Structure formats: structure tokens, C-alpha cells
Amino acid sequence: MPKTAAAKKPTSESAALQLQPGAAAPDFDLPASNAALRADGGGKNITLGDFKGRKLLIYFYPKDDTPGCTKQACSLSENISALNKLSMAVVGVSKDSVKSHDKFVEKFGLKFPLLSDKDGDMCERYGVWGEKKFMGKPYMGITRSCFLVDEKGKLIAAKYGVKPEEQVEWATAAAK
């Protein structure tokens, strides 16, 4: 895949645009799960700039405390030490509320913050919000996706439609 800064039309029906490696990662400033922040001693909102000097794995998921999303979050949390050894931080993003995120983090002991994108702006800018289908019926939702950002805020890699059980391996390979 060529490294260009341009976004391209998606090959799937789920997203309006897909970001390409080499592009500047879209900035964000979103409220984070308080439970995760208490453990880290952080503040209320998290921005892309908070991770300058480290790689950042941003993963988007549809909904807190659902089977696939729980599998995805727990897999990352269980492998956080290995990801940290690669100088990689992790944040999860969904449209759920901070209160919902707090319950999810506390229930499963997640070791990274979850960001609340209630208005969907970050989802739109990363190209993960769009039409999906369930049992033949269309609805709007988040496509499970991962983005690896380098120490300077550029996209190293993007994976739309990632499977929960594949994202740790994908992120590790992309970081090397």
C-alpha cells in the first residue's frame, strides 16, 4: 500500500473515507473514563498531543460490555505490557458515555483509558462511522478499526474491520 497523506473512498459501505499511512492523525480532545484516569493520575480529557514521543494505538469499537468489544478490550489489556515495551500507549474510542466507560473499565480491569466520542466527530474524521447491516437491515454504527500513530502524530498503519482476536498481533507487527 503506498504511503500517501490522502484519504480514499472506502471499499466497504461502512465508512465515508479511509485514512492512509503517512497522513497526519486527526487530532482529538475527548473525555476519558475516570476509572482509568484515576489509576494514571490524569485529568478529564485526553488529546492526541498527550502521546507525543510515544506510539499510540487508537482502536474504535461499537459498544461497551458486549461480547466482541469485551474480547477486544480484554485482549489489549492483557497484552498492555508487551505493547508498552514497544513504546505504545492504547486508547479505545466509542460513542458510549464516560459513565458507561467507567463501568466497563472497572468491570474488566482495563489498563488504558476509553474515550467518549458522544457526538461522533472523531469517528467521522477517522472514517469509522457509517452504514452497517445486521440480518439484512441497515443501521449506522462504528466499524471496529485500529490506527497506529507514530511519535510525531503521523499514521503508521490503519486497519478497518479488524477482528478482536487479531488486533494485538496487527499492532505489534505494524509497530516494528
4 within some domain: no
Question: SS in 3 state form for 91-129?
Answer: EEEECCCHHHHHHHHHHHCCCCCEEECCCCHHHHHCCCE
Of 69, 74, 123, 146, which residue is the catalytic one?
69
CATH number of the domain enclosing 45: 3.40.30.10
35 has a pLDDT exceeding 80? no
Active site residue 69: yes
Average pLDDT of the segment spanning 165-176: 93
pLDDT band, residue 44 (cuts 50/70/90): confident
Task: Provide the domain limits for residue 158.
Answer: 29-175
Q: Please give the pLDDT value at position 121.
A: 95
118 has a pLDDT exceeding 70? yes
pLDDT band, residue 130 (cuts 50/70/90): confident
User: Which residue shows C-alpha cell 459501505?
Assistant: 13
Counted domains in the chain:
1
